[in-house]
Structure 1
Amino acid sequence: MDTPIHRIGIVLLIVILLGGCTWKQQKESAYPVSPQPVLPGEYFITHHLMTDQGMIRTSFAEQHIYLSESLGLWMDYLVRKKDQNSFDQQFGVLQDEFLLDHHLLSWQIESDQKSKANALVDDLRVVAALQKADRLWKNAAYQTTAKEIAQALKDKNMYRGILSDYYDASTNRTSHTITLSYLDPKAIKELESLKIFTKQMTSNQLTILKQAPRKKGFFPKSYDIKKKAYSFDREINMIDQLYTALHADRAKVNTSAIMKWLKTTFKKEGKLYGRYKLSTLQPSVTYESPSVYALVILYALKRNEPEFAKEVYDRMKELQIQDPLKDDYGGYMNEKDTHSFDNLLPLIAERELFNESVIQ
């Protein structure tokens, strides 16, 4: 029987269970931290996307696919949450499932088959997470693994002195293109702190960002290292563009034109779309993306725009299932399916808003 009292009872039970999950994580951790709430998105990931082995499914598809992207984002989140117990579980997943013989990560595992290719952006993200974890919890194994990955990136994943998109061990081929959104200065500087890169090598990578031409304030999609040429897409992929803007800002590149456009467009439309035509700056799709909003939030926080970050957060949360009685509570759903990226990135943004005291 579905009565108001019955519904209230169910809600209270879920709240108690969530609180219990939080308490259990804190109790088991060897390094007690201040209480951190289990966010709805975290609940969704651990209850709907994560397997018993700690692997994060990409979607609800019957054929499970696991990505190094999901692993890296989840590790990033756990460091921001200061949850060492869960981080160590993922450290085990990294070592047992994703690391290949040459110490790069398999970018995809499908039907228990590991791809022999990596994705630079994911490997860098994992290195950065391991380094942050080592500073927090002083576990030498984190840095040892980070250094092995970093060394492999230098040995296998560079073309003419520049980090490139991937290395494929099955063909022994290194890409000669670098997608600009992959060039995260914070992560690349970790290669320097590990003494794998020199300062000059770090500078050479960031020069690709710093010398990039603009069209209407926006960045190119990629740089062909062999041809020494930048390439623009006809459409602005907001995920790529926002990652690039965030990274460029960290590299002290002026990105104010993009921030101005974001604020003006959001104020006018009340939303942002997933793609825009570069020629007209009009939307080329009709969908909104929680990941786009998450990146806008992180970018706004980096640019010291907390009020704008909060406004975008409010819109992002409207896309999330927030009713605890729904089966997919906490998820960002696309009808009956979802994607790990569209849940992990918003979760990171939400945690960062808590960490910065923009929301409570």
Structure 2
Amino acid sequence: MTRKIISLGMLIGCILILVGCGQKQPQTKIPKADADHLTITTQYHKNKQNIELLHNFLKDSMVQKAGIYTNFNNNQKKSDNATGHDMLSESSGLWLEYLAQTHQNKAFREFYKNTKKYFDQGRQFSYRIDGKTKKKSDVNATLDDLRIIRALQIYAQNNNSKKYRHEAAERFAMLQTTSIQKARVLNFYDVRTKKASNESSLAYYDLATLKYFESVSKKERGYYREQLKLVEKGYLGDIFPLYAPSYNWKTNQYGTWHEKSEYFRSFDYSPAFG
């Protein structure tokens, strides 16, 4: 009987250790440099009347507690694309950037609190909330996560906030356990299947944000150099200056604008440009 109790205790102990390891938080490394370059230079201040009209429309008609409506009209249709009153983390990230850059500090803190409440999946943000069912998508969109992280850092920089500086660095560290895997900035990570995309859309490489948060060690600076190199190699030429839409890590090839990939519709520019 005693042996059975001891064996059971050892089994429970092993299970607890394994569970603890699975839930271990990544190490948060806070960059030492300032982040002034993350603030986008705009001309918004030159047309205050139009800015005020746009701000009021968004605030009164589009911005909700949980996020921002995709469309003003709630023409909800069953679609793979966001429509109607679906909400996207992309829109929330853009709104957070706007609030941070215009020093609307109280509004920023409140909106970010609700962004976490409704979009958070633990280590990343769901890219979409269904407007009808309120269900979160199982996947994120890595660029949208980076935009939210950038907004956090802009707020921290503007307000000399240690709390939000840590929050930004922590969110980046957690993203490195899902859809950012060393030098690979993958399109998404599925929290249900525990699988990441095989593709990296080159537009998802927010190089300014990546460079800042990967400045914390020699190893991570190396990751950034590889990321930059990947994007640069995707350049298609000076005649029609475009980059390849994506890079596939399974085939080790860049995608073309003629083929369908995870986030790009088929697009044929050859007839117009020879």
Partner of 1:129: 151
Structure 1 equivalent of residue 59 of structure 2 = 46
**Cα deviation digits, residues 277-334 of structure 1 (max 9, x gap):** 421336xxxxxxxxxxxxxxxxxxxxxxxxxxxxxxxxxxxxxxxxxxxxxxxxxxxx
Q: 1:275-314 residue pairs with structure 2 within 5 A?
A: 277-281=268-272
Matched AA of 1:172 = K
CA offsets, 1:1-25, max 9 Å, x none? Answer: xxxxxxxxxxxxxxxxxxxxxxxxx
Q: 1:100 to 1:197 in 2, by over 3 A?
A: farther
Whole-Å Cα distance in 2 between the matches of residues 158 and 80 of structure 1? 26
Distance 1:281-1:153 versus aligned 2 partners, 3 A rule: farther
**Structure 1 residues 276 and 227 mapped into 2: Cα distance closer, same or farther (>3 Å)?**
closer
What does residue 205 of structure 1 align with? 227
In the TM superposition, residue 195 of structure 1 has moved relative to its aligned partner by 6.0
Q: Identical aligned pairs, as a percentage?
A: 25
**Structure 1 counterpart of 2:125, one-letter code:** L
Q: CA deviation at 1:97?
A: 1.4
Question: Which residue identity is paired with 1:50?
Answer: V
Q: TM-score, normalised by structure 1?
A: 0.53
Corresponding residue SS for 1:281: helix
- Alignment partner, residue 272 of structure 1: none
**8 Å contact kept, 2:190–2:196:** yes
CA RMSD of superposed structures (Å): 2.9
TM-score, normalised to structure 2's length? 0.69
2:124 to 104, 121, 134: 104
Q: Does 1:224 align with 2:248?
A: yes
Residue 47 (structure 1) shift: 1.1
Alpha carbons of 1:277 and 1:176: their partners in 2 closer, same or farther (altered >3 Å)? closer
In the alignment, is the contact (CA less than 8 A) between 1:68 and 1:122 conserved in 2? yes
1:241-280, Cα deviation, whole Å (9 max, x unpaired) = xxxxxxxxxxxxxxxxxxxxxxxxxxxxxxxxxx974213
Q: Secondary structure of the residue that 1:112 maps to in structure 2? A: coil
2:271 aligns to what SS in structure 1? coil
Change (3 A) 1:155 1:54: closer
**Which residue does 2:30 correspond to in 1?**
none
Amino acid at match of 2:69: R
Is the 8 Å Cα contact of residues 128 and 186 (structure 1) preserved in structure 2?
Answer: no
Determine which of 84, 89, 109 is the counterpart of 1:68. Answer: 89
Hey, what's the Cα distance between the residues in 1 that align with 2:61 and 2:182? 43
* Alignment deviations for residues 193-235 of structure 1 (CA, whole Å, 9 cap, x no partner): 4669711011111111111140532211111122221111139
When residues 80 and 225 of structure 1 are mapped into structure 2, their CA distance, relative to the original with a 3 A threshold, is same
**Alpha-carbon offset, residue 185 of structure 1:** 0.8
**Superposed, which structure 2 residues align to 1:223-302 within 5 Å?**
223-234=247-258, 277-281=268-272
Once the two structures are superposed, what CA deviation does each residue of 1:118-144 show, in whole Å capped at 9, x if it has no partner?
100100111111111100012223222
- Letter of the 1:280 counterpart: P
Amino acid at match of 1:281: A
CA apart distance, 1:159: 4.9
Alpha-carbon displacement from aligned partner over 1:72-129 (angstroms, at most 9, x marks no partner): 011111222222122112211222111112x200111112211221100100111111
The Cα of 1:161 is off from its aligned counterpart by 3.6
Counterpart among 80, 103, 127 of residue 101 in structure 2: 80
Are the equivalent residues in 2 in contact too, given 1:120–1:166 (CA < 8 A)? yes
CA distance in 2, matches of 1:131, 1:226: 33
How far apart are the structure 2 equivalents of 1:93 and 1:195?
Answer: 32
SS at match of 2:58: helix
Q: Provide closer, same or farther for how the CA distance between residues 133 and 104 of structure 1 changes in structure 2, counting only shifts above 3 A.
A: same
Matched to 1:65, the amino acid is: D
The structure carrying a bigger helix percent of its residues is 1
Which residue matches 1:345? Answer: none
Q: Confirm or deny that 1:146 pairs with 2:182.
A: no
